[in-house]
Amino acid sequence: MTIVWSLLKHNGKPITAYAVGTSLYLLMLAALYPSMMKTGLLEAKLQALPPEVLKAFQYDKITGFDNVLDLLGGNYYGLIFQIIASLFLLSLAARLLARPIDNGELILYLAAPITRHQYTASAMIVMFLASTCLVVCNTFVLLMADWFVSGVSIDGMTLVRFQVNALFLLYAIGGFTLCIATLFDDERRAFSIAGGVLVLSIVLTIGSGLSEKTEWMRYGSIFSLFNTQQLLEGTHHFFLHLLLLASISLLFHLGAFVSFRKRSLSI
Amino acid sequence: MIHLQHVTKEFAPKRGLFDVSFTVEPGMVFGFIGPNGAGKSTAIRQLMGLIQADSGHATIGGYDCWNQSQDVKRIVGYLPGEINLPGDFTGEQVLHLMQQLHQSKPERQSELLEQFPFETKTKIRKMSKGMKQKLALVGCFMKDAPVYLLDEPTSGLDPLMQERFLSLVDKERQRGKAILMSSHHFPEMEKSCDRAALIKEGRIIIEADIHELVRSSRKQYTIEFGLEAQAEQFALQIGSQRFQNHVSFFTSNERTLNQIIRLLTEYDVRAIQTSADDLEHVFLHYYSEEEPS
């Protein structure tokens, strides 16, 4: 617990910044949603956009918005969340493992009678807590908006499915970034490899919306396991996707344990 | 207490450790001497379980340094060569964390802070090298471990702190601690170590009792003659160079020295000077001798 507490203390500011920043953005959208609906400006603007762009943002529903989740499903959870999640977990994995390995700060912990498994487990717990904190803050803000702003009208079950799916996506990306962070002595190398894979996933997601011929590209990306449009329509393989994300998370976390246990450290 | 047996870890040709063996017993300070990149820190990392050897065996207190590193670290106080700590933490926070991680006593921390004082409320990123070194020293010794691994321990310390450090090491030795210390700061090694090993390109080139090592070193002698002509003649006799009426030569061989003294009885000698017997000469002797011509 000492290590977890210390790592949380050391990384508390960026975790809070991401959680508060995304929550404020959601709050702003939720607060503006009723007036946007009243003026009809939003729908007019969306209809003016090419269908490829709308698809890239998972905005299929341009015929009407029933509640704020319809808007967020495209605006925030369609693509922005994936980009923010990638940056958040890339930087957190770098701060927890890649950077301390690179600059030698890790010796503060590894000189103590703790195993590398204990340190990896602590880093993993911090990643889990940080991801959970982000999703809980986002959910809390949306619930607050639902209670206090008239016209937001969020469907509780859809919101829960959104957030649970988002949380599992964060766990999976977190496992991947943590595993890559254990592989290299050089922080920039670890960051660029993990970042490269995540950027490719985002490109595949965007590319899949460009035409029907490129739709297959979505399945090359981990983000296909968080399809907001299908979640809103209720056609999403919710539990299957959760299972796949949990498996990816487990696989990469195990990989992180194995690779960090075996490697020599020049710290 | 500390055993390295034929440990090899090759990073590249001539980089790493090659067949390194030595033992440090309780109550002994063992010096590990060598230039930068010779393999001193690699050997210490090996003992800390940070690096896995290609071959050979490293143990501390009977525990295997790679497979039982948790047990090893329970009995070891470690001072790294490069002090890298989280910049956002204050000295106080680092010491508190170390105290919790190592389960050390707060009384010992206070004693050490009196000997090595620094502003504990300063953030690490604002600390000078000397302050960080003192913080690391306090953190390392507050553990009161039976074994200490110290990599360049006086780097960045002022002379007063260096003296205090040496007396602390002496005190710990008297308390039966096994101390392995790497450095290329010769006076402190000479003052504090019982035995020493010289390492070059990953290989130990000599390991001996420190005083024996110093005694056996090649020393420089300078003879001052009454006349330059005599200096010239003597230089020719022993195959050395003359500078005005002075002739200097190196030898570690007592027989050679006695022969030279016998020769000198025929000359008008004004003065004989010898260089100090110090570890630096031992170091230079071995390192220059090994250089390819």
**Looking at this protein, which amino acid is placed at residue B234?**
F
Same domain for B254 and B121, yes or no, is no
The Cα of B218 is separated from the nearest Cα of chain A by a number of Å equal to 36
Q: Is A2's Cβ below 8 Å from some Cβ in B? A: yes
Residue B271 domain flag:
yes
Answer whether residue B293 shows pLDDT above 60.
no
Residue B19 domain flag:
yes
**Backbone phi and psi for residue B244, each to the nearest 5 degrees, phi listed first:** 50, -120
Least CB–CB distance from A107: residue in B52, B80, B100: B80
- Which chain A residues are within 8 Å of B65, Cβ to Cβ? none
Residue B283: which pLDDT band, with cuts at 50, 70 and 90? confident
The three-state secondary structure class of A156 is: helix
In this predicted model, what pLDDT tens digit does every residue of B169-200 receive, in sequence order? 999 999 999 999 998 777 788 888 999 998 88
Q: Do A113 and B102 touch (CB under 8 A)?
A: yes
Q: In chain B, whose CA is at the least distance from the CA of A260?
A: B50
Mean pLDDT along residues B202-227: 82
Same domain for B88 and B57, yes or no, is yes
| pLDDT, position B106 | 85
ipTM: 0.78
Nearest-10 Cα torsion for A35, A37, A41, A42: 110
The Cα of B227 is separated from the nearest Cα of chain A by a number of Å equal to 60
In this predicted model, what pLDDT tens digit does every residue of B117-140 receive, in sequence order? 999 999 999 999 999 999 999 999
Tokens 């170590």 -> residue: B193
The Cα of A9 is separated from the nearest Cα of chain B by a number of Å equal to 9
Residue B60 domain flag:
yes
Residue B291 domain flag:
no
Handedness of CA A14, A16, A17, A23 (dihedral sign): positive
Q: How far is B200 from B20, CA to CA, in rounded Å?
A: 11
| pLDDT, position A59 | 64
Same domain for B108 and B133, yes or no, is yes
Give residues 63 to 122 of A whose Cβ lies within 8 Å of B: 103-105, 107-115
Lowest-pLDDT range, A213-217, B51-55, B179-183, B269-273?
A: A213-217
Q: How far is B113 from B115, CA to CA, in rounded Å?
A: 5
Same domain for B244 and B164, yes or no, is no
In this predicted model, what pLDDT tens digit does every residue of A217-257 receive, in sequence order? 878 888 888 888 788 877 678 899 999 999 999 999 999 99
Same domain for B188 and B227, yes or no, is no
Same domain for B185 and B251, yes or no, is no
In this predicted model, what pLDDT tens digit does every residue of A52-106 receive, in sequence order? 676 666 666 545 566 777 778 777 888 889 999 999 999 999 999 999 999 889 9
Q: Which of B15, B41, B44, B50 to mutate to test the interface with A (most CBs of A within 10 A)?
A: B50
The three-state secondary structure class of B265 is: coil
Same domain for B177 and B253, yes or no, is no
- Which chain A residues are within 8 Å of B52, Cβ to Cβ? 262, 264
| pLDDT, position B277 | 59
Q: What is the mean pLDDT of chain B?
A: 87
The number of domains in chain B is 2
A76's tokens: 């925030």
Mean pLDDT along residues A184-190: 88
- Which chain A residues are within 8 Å of B67, Cβ to Cβ? none
CATH number of the domain within which B54 lies: 3.40.50.300
Same domain for B187 and B55, yes or no, is yes
Q: Using an 8 Å Cβ cutoff, are A6 and A95 in contact?
A: no
Q: Do B84 and A2 touch (CB under 8 A)?
A: no
Mark which of B175, B208, B241 sits at the end of a domain. Answer: B208
Same domain for B106 and B239, yes or no, is no
Comparing B13 with A222, which gets the higher pLDDT?
A222
Tokens 């630096």 -> residue: B280
How is chain A split into domains, by residue range? Answer: 2-262
Mark which of B152, B180, B208 sits at the end of a domain. Answer: B208
| pLDDT, position A58 | 62
Residue B138 domain flag:
yes
Q: In terms of residue numbers, what domain contains B233?
A: 218-276
Residue B286 domain flag:
no
Least CB–CB distance from A112: residue in B73, B88, B89: B73
Q: Do B86 and A110 touch (CB under 8 A)?
A: no
**Looking at this protein, which amino acid is placed at residue A111?**
A
Residue B101 domain flag:
yes
Mark which of B208, B238, B253 sits at the end of a domain. Answer: B208
Mean pLDDT along residues B232-239: 87
Same domain for B191 and B236, yes or no, is no
Q: Do A113 and B71 touch (CB under 8 A)?
A: yes
Answer whether residue B278 shows pLDDT above 70.
no
Residue B290 domain flag:
no
Q: Do B48 and A266 touch (CB under 8 A)?
A: no
- Which chain A residues are within 8 Å of B15, Cβ to Cβ? none
Same domain for B133 and B54, yes or no, is yes
Same domain for B120 and B159, yes or no, is yes
Q: How far is A168 from B64, CA to CA, in rounded Å?
A: 40
